Structure 1
Amino acid sequence: MPQTVRAVIARAEDAPVETVDIVLPEPGPHDVIVEVKACGVCHTDLHYREGGINDQFPFLLGHEAAGVVETVGAAVTHVAVGDVVVLNWRAVCGECRACRRGRPWYCFDTHNASAPMTLTDGTPLTPALGIGAFAEKTLVHEKQCTVIDPDTDPAVAGLLGCGVMAGIGAAVNTGAVTRGDSVAVIGCGGVGDAAVAGARLAGAGTIIAVDRDPRKLEWAKEFGATHTIDAGTEEVVERIKELTGGWGADVVIDAVGRPETWKQAFYGRDLAGTVVLVGVPTPEMTLDMPLIDLFSHGGALKSSWYGDCLPERDFPMLIDLYRQGRLPLEKFVTERIGLDDVEQAFTAMGEGRVLRSVVVR
């Protein structure tokens, strides 16, 4: 039967979020109800609240989550009641053109729950990235759940559901960083520092962190940056080249997603280097570049969606590395907060005071 739980919604563009009662319908055949134990406050949630994703208000916010499977639909085989899971928004279908070509990280038909969660008056909610986990419980498709080691801190594990996976994957999967490479990361918030951590994990020799905030540059050093560039006082492209023997970096990761930072990434790479865009631009942004510059540089220009990850492959592997002490995921958790503190967490994010605020229960 339907359940009523507390959750955080964005009712209108730029309006403060609200904690309200919502209704979870009975799970469909392939749906599951997950009791949410932790959910990170991601910049994407703020984009939803600001109307920067679409206008399908009201939104049920939250998507970087870990929890315990409470109820399963009649045809569920992927998970079982009691499993500890990380939720993901790239639940690949296995049947679309991308999946059939062996590129499931580009899946065009990812799975979501079969029925919407609603307000108590019946108004359908749009869940952030198909998840909606600033809630005591949420309804998702079984394939949106990745089973992990039950002894893992859910506040740490949940961050793999979006930002940390996006950054690590941008370095390891999309950028294909390997031993001895030089890497520059522009923008050292949660995603950028995850890219720094991924580059270190892959064995990069030189890892350059670029940001305007000295505090964020210090954080980047904790994740493995060997050099830092203060973009507010230093010429970024020139300094990247100075730190790489005059050539530029093998891989430059733009974790900001603005035309000016993308150009810094493009001109700060080696002649045959790789640019990876993982920061998400807003729809109105445009890029004006001399076409001859694109022609005369080799290498690759790539976008990284969700770190080009496969949750079933990557989440358990990264949890194992964390538990072995080889990946400091715990350093991303700046503070633990309650459901009623999400609006204040958005303020802290905007002021650059946190890598991640995490709602815990």
Structure 2
Amino acid sequence: MTQEVRAVVAPGKNEPVRVETIVVPDPGPGEAVVDIKACGVCHTDLHYKQGGINDEFPFLLGHEASGVVESVGEGVTEVAPGDVVILNWRAVCGRCRACERGRPWYCFDTHNARQPMTLTDGTPLSPALGIGAFAEKTLVAAGQCTKVDPAVDPAVAGLLGCGVMAGIGAAINTGQVGRGDSVAVIGCGGVGDAAVAGARLAGAARIIAVDVDPRKLETARTFGATHTVDATATDPVEAIREATGGFGADVVIEAVGRPETYEQAFYARDLAGTVVLVGVPTPDMKLQLPLLDVFGRGGALKSSWYGDCLPSRDFPMLIDLHQQGRLDLASFVTERIGLDDVEAAFDRMHRGDVLRSVIVL
């Protein structure tokens, strides 16, 4: 039978979010209902609210979540009721050309639950990134659930569902940072700091953090940055070159998603170096670079989709590293809030006052 639960809904473009009662159906074939325990407040949720993703309002916000599987539908074998899971927004199909070539992290046919969740009047909701986890319970495809150690703090675990995984994966999976490499990270919010942490995990010798906010630069140091650059006072390209013997960094990770910072990343890398774009641009943004420079500098220009992660492989591994004391995921959690506090959390995030606000249920 269907259930009615409390959830955070964005009713229209730039309108304040509201806590509403929503209807969650029983799971159908291949689906699961998850009892949400914690969900991070991510910039992507704010983009949904602002109409920056699409205009399919009303949105059921939230996607960076962990919880406990309550029930599963027919044919589900990946998880069972009682499993502690992290939710992901790229459930791998196993059948597309990327999956069949052994590259499931590029899956071109990822999927979500088929049934809609609705308002009590029957209005269908568009769940953020196919999850919708600013809610007491949500309906997802079973493949969006990745089982992890139940001993982990839910507020910590959920952050792997989006921002932290995107940043760590941008360094390790997409950028393929190696031992002794130099790495620059432009933009030190949650994703950028996770990229710093990922570069440190990979054994980078120099990690240069770039931002316009001194508070963020100080936080980046706690995650492993060896150098910091205040972009309001110094040319980031020249500062990165100076910190790398005049050459530029082996890997530059752009975690802002703007043409001007991407251009900085392009020119701040060494010859044959790698640029990784993990910051999300808006549809109106355009980039111009001299084609001769693209050719002449060599190397690779990459975009990082979800940190090119494979949730079934990467989520448990990173939880294990956290529990071993080798990856401090808890430091990403700035505050713990309730469902009624989301609008204020968006304001704090916009001002740069928090790394992550996490809703705890």
Shift of 1:111: 2.2
Give per-residue Cα distances to partners, 1:30-57, cap 9 Å, x unaligned: 1111000000000000000000000100
* Residue type of the alignment partner of 1:189: G
Give the structure 2 partner of residue 107 of structure 1.
Answer: 107
Structure 1 consecutive aligned stretches of length 4 or more whose deviation exceeds 6 Å: none
> 1:2 aligned to 2:16?
no
Letter in 1 for 2:314: D
Provide the residue aligned with 1:211 in structure 2. Answer: 211
In the TM superposition, residue 74 of structure 1 has moved relative to its aligned partner by 2.4
* Correspondence for 1:27: 27
- SS of structure 2 residue aligned to 1:157: helix
Shift of residue 294, structure 1, vs aligned partner: 0.8
Alignment partner, residue 295 of structure 2:
295
Equivalence for 2:308: 308
| Letter paired with 2:286 | T
2:191 aligned partner: 191
In structure 1, C-alpha distance between the alignment counterparts of 2:210 and 2:263, rounded to whole Å: 14
The question of 1:62 aligning with 2:62 is answered yes
Q: Distance in 1 between matches of 2:299 and 2:45?
A: 34
Question: Which residue of structure 2 lines up, in the alignment, with residue 272 of structure 1?
Answer: 272
Give the AA of the match of 2:271: L
Q: C-alpha offsets along residues 236-255 of structure 1, whole Å, 9 cap, x if unaligned?
A: 10010000000000000000
2:75 alignment partner in structure 1: 75
1:152-191 maps to which residues of 2 (within 5 A)? Answer: 152-191=152-191
1:278-312 C-alpha deviation (Å, 9 max, x unpaired)? 00000000001111111111110000000000000
> Distance between the aligned counterparts of 1:252 and 1:337, measured in 2?
34
Aligned pairs for 1:123-134 within 5 A: 123-134=123-134
TM-score, with structure 1 as normaliser: 0.99
Query: If the length of structure 2 is used for normalisation, what is the TM-score?
Result: 0.99
What SS does the corresponding residue of 2:210 show, helix, strand or coil?
strand
Alignment partners' CA distance in 2, 1:291 and 1:177: 26
The residue that corresponds to 2:96 in the other structure is 96
Return the alpha-carbon distance in structure 2 between the equivalents of residues 21 and 244 of structure 1.
Answer: 54
What percent of counterpart residues are identical? Answer: 76
3-state DSSP class of the match of 1:220? Answer: helix
Structure 1 gaps, min length 5: none
- Tell me which amino acid in the other structure corresponds to 1:60: L
Q: Which moved more, 1:104-113 or 1:130-139?
A: 104-113
Unaligned runs of 5+ in 2: none
Deviations for 1:110-163, whole angstroms, at most 9, x for unmatched residues? Answer: 121120000000010000000000000000111100000000000000000000
3-state secondary structure, aligned to 2:270: strand
Separation in 1, partners of 2:50, 2:108 = 26
* In 2: Cα distance, 1:229 partner to 1:296 partner: 27
Kindly indicate whether residue 242 of structure 2 is the aligned counterpart of residue 242 of structure 1: yes
Deviates more, 1:286-295 or 1:50-59: 286-295
* Superposition deviation, residue 69 in structure 1: 0.5
Mapped to 2, the partners of 1:339 and 1:313 lie a distance apart of 31
Between stretches 26-35 and 197-206, larger displacement belongs to 26-35
Q: Does 1:46 align with 2:68?
A: no
Shift of 1:100: 1.3
Amino acid at match of 1:123: T
Cα distance, 1:267 vs structure 2: 0.2
Code of the residue aligned with 1:113 in structure 2: it is: A
1:302 aligned counterpart, secondary structure = strand
Cα distance in 1 for residues equivalent to 2:245 and 2:272: 15
Task: For 2:285, give the aligned amino acid.
Answer: M
Count of residues in correspondence between the two structures: 361
